[in-house]
Amino acid sequence: MEEPFLVQTTDYKPLNEGSLAEYLSAIPSVAELLGGSPDDWRVREVGDGNLNLVFVIEGSSGGVIVKQALPYMRLVGESWPLPLERSYFESLALAEQARAAPGSVPRLFATDRVGAAVVMEYLQPHVILRKALLQGRHLPLFAEHMARFLAESLFKTSDLYLTADRKKSLMQKFCANTELCKITEDLVFTDPYRISPGNRWTSPQLDDDAAAFRADAPLKAEVQALKLKFLTSAEALVHGDLHTGSIMVTDEDTRAIDPEFAFFGPMGFDIGALIANLLIAAIAHRVHRQGALGDAYRTWILDQAELVWTGFATKFQSLWETEATGDAFTAELFEDPAGRIALGRMQDRYLADLFADTLGFAGCKMIRRVLGLAHVEDLESIADPDLRAAAERKVLALGRRLILKRSTMTSFNDVLYAVEEIDL
């Protein structure tokens, strides 16, 4: 893998349409990729996210993306400061993910730590997966691609693949990404279950539901057990925010973007994030599109959720068979026939535990999209508040079920039964 160019900016200054051409012309590989004269490069700001400036720069022979962190949360304003260092963590994560799962993330051309900017591949004609799902697009390969991305990026940054010293030196870097982790700790695991100024929900329809969740002590205890796992289980380098808005797709290609929340955490957090957002999309879709076509596409989405899990599990197990170079489960100990059986049984247990984690984290991610600060277009775009609340109530019920029953749901069929019971 080529190493990214290191831009030596001396102090932080937000980039803009006027300054970008000069900025990029100093990066030889990027200047060459764009082609022609910097004066002719076209720049537009396209950031629709919550946290960053995002520019597309196109020259005569190609384009790149420049993503720059702002020192506050764009969605909320300067009252919510955010660390610029998250840009550096994004570039570190992109580099590791590219190493672990080649072709699954945008190519990284340059990193500017002080300037808090990353220059990367302009993905075209990719669209955000969430948008594609809202449009009812059938994407023949995305589930397979994401299963592979999850298996490779998680396995190859875990103790099953890395030696302990290599893993810990990587983990050491990401230990400093605490402020973005804190956002997750609060917004996913805590605020939806208490009165918090950032919370919102479809009101008054869901007022009683929100109050019931705040009073649901057994659920809160389970959510906090999952939060403890988020805080302590350094299993692998997780993306940390892998919802359907962090994935770009075409029919042939799939990329995970925006890993600025990356840290060493529980694998189930990433798998659960994706499955949660697919389940939300499935529930929302029949509201958006009634009748047989809506039903069929909902079934297709549910099939993709299942394929993500089963594809992940198959690929992960196969990596464990063929590339177990790490310090965990020292391969040498299991080379005889009895060892292979015992290891196989342990792999099954590992995947069963990971499935339970996945469902638990998926449940947390579903609930926070209805009761917390950040909502999703799948549900927000249901204009009628009664219809929206009805769908959101199903999302809450399914999320709650996944959290409480995660240890007794042993195959994806159990998830599908729960969906059918709740989303009749």
Binding interface with its own copies (CB under 8 A): 159, 164-165, 167-169, 171-172, 175-176, 178-179, 181-182, 185, 190, 193-194, 215, 217-218, 220-221, 224-225, 227-228, 231-235, 327-330, 332-334, 336, 338-339, 341-343, 345-346, 349
| Cα separation, 342 vs 327, whole angstroms | 17
Instruction: Provide the minimum distance between the beta carbon of 259 and its own copies in the complex, in angstroms, as a whole number.
Output: 18
Q: Which two tokens stand for residue 341?
A: 């059986």
- Asked if residues 332 and 151 have their Cβ atoms less than 8 Å apart, the reply is no
By beta-carbon proximity to its own copies, the closer residue of 21 and 234 is: 234
- Asked if residues 147 and 160 have their Cβ atoms less than 8 Å apart, the reply is no
Instruction: Provide the minimum distance between the beta carbon of 279 and its own copies in the complex, in angstroms, as a whole number.
Output: 25
| Cα separation, 278 vs 331, whole angstroms | 36
Cα–Cα nearest to 288, from 393, 384, 195, 395: 384
Q: Which residues pair with 256 in a beta bridge?
A: 247
By beta-carbon proximity to its own copies, the closer residue of 6 and 215 is: 215
Instruction: Provide the minimum distance between the beta carbon of 64 and its own copies in the complex, in angstroms, as a whole number.
Output: 33
By beta-carbon proximity to its own copies, the closer residue of 61 and 172 is: 172
Q: Which two tokens stand for residue 64?
A: 């790149």
C-alpha distance across the termini of the chain, in Å: 49
By beta-carbon proximity to its own copies, the closer residue of 135 and 169 is: 169
| Cα separation, 234 vs 190, whole angstroms | 20
By beta-carbon proximity to its own copies, the closer residue of 46 and 228 is: 228
By beta-carbon proximity to its own copies, the closer residue of 189 and 312 is: 189
By beta-carbon proximity to its own copies, the closer residue of 39 and 336 is: 336
Instruction: Provide the minimum distance between the beta carbon of 93 and its own copies in the complex, in angstroms, as a whole number.
Output: 16
Q: Which two tokens stand for residue 365?
A: 């991610």
Instruction: Provide the minimum distance between the beta carbon of 160 and its own copies in the complex, in angstroms, as a whole number.
Output: 8
3-state secondary structure of 52: strand
Find the helix packing angle between 267-288 and 385-405, rounded to 10°.
Answer: 150
Instruction: Provide the minimum distance between the beta carbon of 217 and its own copies in the complex, in angstroms, as a whole number.
Output: 4
| Cα separation, 7 vs 66, whole angstroms | 13
Instruction: Provide the minimum distance between the beta carbon of 229 and its own copies in the complex, in angstroms, as a whole number.
Output: 9
Instruction: Provide the minimum distance between the beta carbon of 202 and its own copies in the complex, in angstroms, as a whole number.
Output: 23
3-state secondary structure of 68: strand
Residue with tokens 């690929």: 315
Q: Which residues pair with 247 in a beta bridge?
A: 256
Q: Which residues pair with 236 in a beta bridge?
A: 265
By beta-carbon proximity to its own copies, the closer residue of 193 and 312 is: 193
